[in-house]
Amino acid sequence: MYTNRRRFIKKSSLYLLGSATSFLFPVELLASMRKKVGPNDQINMGLIGCNGMGFSNLLSLLKINEVNVIALCDVDENVLSRRTSELEKAGIKKPQWYKDYRKMLDNKDIDFVVIGTPDHWHCLQLTDALNAGKDVYCEKPIANSMQECEIMLNTVQNSKRIVQIGQWQRSQPHFVDAINFVHSGKLGEIRLAKAWAYQGWMKPVPIQADANAPAGVDYKMWLGPAPERLFNPNRFHFNFRWFWDYAGGLMTDWGVHLIDYALYGMKAGTPKSVMALGGKFAYPNDASETPDSLQAVFEYDDFSILWEHATGIDGGNYGRNHGIAFIGNNGTLVLDRSGWEVIPEKEFQGWGKEGTPRMESLPLQQNQGNGLDLHTKNFIEAVMSRDPKNLNAPIKVGYDAAMVSHMGNVAYKSGNRIYWDTDKGRFTDKTSNDIMMASYHNGWKLPQ
């Protein structure tokens, strides 16, 4: 598929925007940033799911001059129109529109696709894209069930395509530096890793009556394999995250980002057992289904990982509304998107006496660079080199984080301490095994 026009020179026109976040990147700036490249050096992409992170990923990729967007797919024609207008401000020719992603995948001119749809679509769209011979950049979490995670891992590993998962912190330099410090052993034995997301900005999801889908929306296609329901604005676009049919709440939304780094630091995979407690404590009467408050404990041989999340409040650990902490005998490393620091333990010398620090403190090491831009650049480099070993977030990274995050939700739903049999790849109880399975509807079939 890749002829010599797909040659890639790392020193060519790959362009990064410094430290500003791509999530708020002004589209108009692309016109002045992008330089023309010849057709032989272009790589053509299509975007599936043009709202939210899907479009942020597209803007980040378009900072790379070799990337050319030729197709947009969304079930909402209003989104297609709005996004096309924004791209035209950057001097980008109108891409071809699709409402059915399968028809987009039939387009032979597309080299790779970005999947930015709700979680319940990821498994079908990724496997179909691979079968169509496309490389894929897939948003996190990789799937909406543990069974789908297994299918996606096996499919990618048996494919020759390049697949990057959108856990962009894997490309953020200060996150990488922090984990290198954790792995240095200077913290001493680490007994506990904490990860948390306290989201004060999140308000109740107001109860609204079912209604007709907005004009221009193919609602049946939006539902896809999810159970058939009447349209409700609460479940559409961003708020889909708080309903089990389409996503797993904060546990899988922020959890895959932060638990990923807890796993990375501890060199861990699936746990031995999981416990979870929580509920709808902040907004008990709103329309959402997923818990707005949750604590989950993941047991390993000689340490534990603790997850916490809460909506409506920002008072997280160490004065941070999100982060990861590695708690060692000598000190604690605290890490979030702004940077990382080391807080030393002190020797105990009796009540009322100041102890000697067991290690040197390390002041805040601040964030440097744009993680999303670095992540999309890393993906394109791997696409052009055809070497998946160069990926910063390959499918196994997405798989591990999603599996553990989903385990937290399975434990919450079961109401029990649940145990994982690594050899069998299953839980030891039927209830948990039933919860981990995917359920497809409306004639859609689970990929095999």
Q: Give pLDDT, residue 9.
A: 35
Residues 70 and 205 in one domain: no
Q: What are the start-end ranges of the H helices in 371-447? A: 371-385, 395-414, 430-435
Tokens linked to 410: 């399975």
One domain, residues 318 and 379: no
Q: Do 303 and 381 belong together in one domain?
A: no
Give domain status of residue 444, yes or no: no
Integer Cα distance of 345 and 327 in angstroms:
10
Please indicate, yes or no, whether residues 185 and 98 belong to a single structural domain of this protein: no
Structure tokens at 361: 């403190």
Domain limits for position 345: 172-367+400-435
- Do 220 and 230 have their domain in common? yes
Check whether residue 110 and residue 249 sit in a common domain.
no
Q: How many domains does the chain have?
A: 2
SS3 content of the chain, % helix, strand, coil (to 5): 35, 20, 45
Structure tokens at 407: 């385990």
Residues 326 and 232 in one domain: yes
> 40 exposed, middle or buried (CB, 10 Å; 0-12, 13-18, 19+)?
exposed
pLDDT at 12: 39
In whole angstroms, what is the distance from residue 282 CA to residue 286 CA? 9
SS3 for 171?
A: helix
What does each C-alpha distance from 132 to 3, 45, 110, 126, 287 come to in angstroms? 18, 13, 10, 10, 38
List the chain residues with pLDDT less than 50. Answer: 1-22
- pLDDT at site 24: 61
Is 304 within the bounds of a domain? yes
pLDDT score, position 59: 96
Give the CATH number for residue 414. Answer: 3.30.360.10
User: Do 240 and 99 have their domain in common?
Assistant: no
Q: Are residues 98 and 228 in the same domain?
A: no
β-strands 135-138, 426-427 pairing: unpaired
Whole-model pTM over 0.85 = yes
Distance of alpha carbon 174 from alpha carbon 369, whole angstroms: 9
Q: Are residues 349 and 376 in the same domain?
A: no
DSSP 8-state code for residue 248? -
Question: Tens digits of per-residue pLDDT, 18-72?
Answer: 333 445 678 888 888 888 888 888 999 999 999 999 999 999 999 999 999 999 9
Q: Which residues pair with 310 in a beta bridge?
A: 198, 293
3-state secondary structure at position 375: helix
Indicate whether 447 belongs to any domain.
no
145 and 286 together in one domain: no
The pLDDT value given to residue 31:
83
Residues 381 and 426 occupy one common structural domain:
no
pLDDT at 23: 59
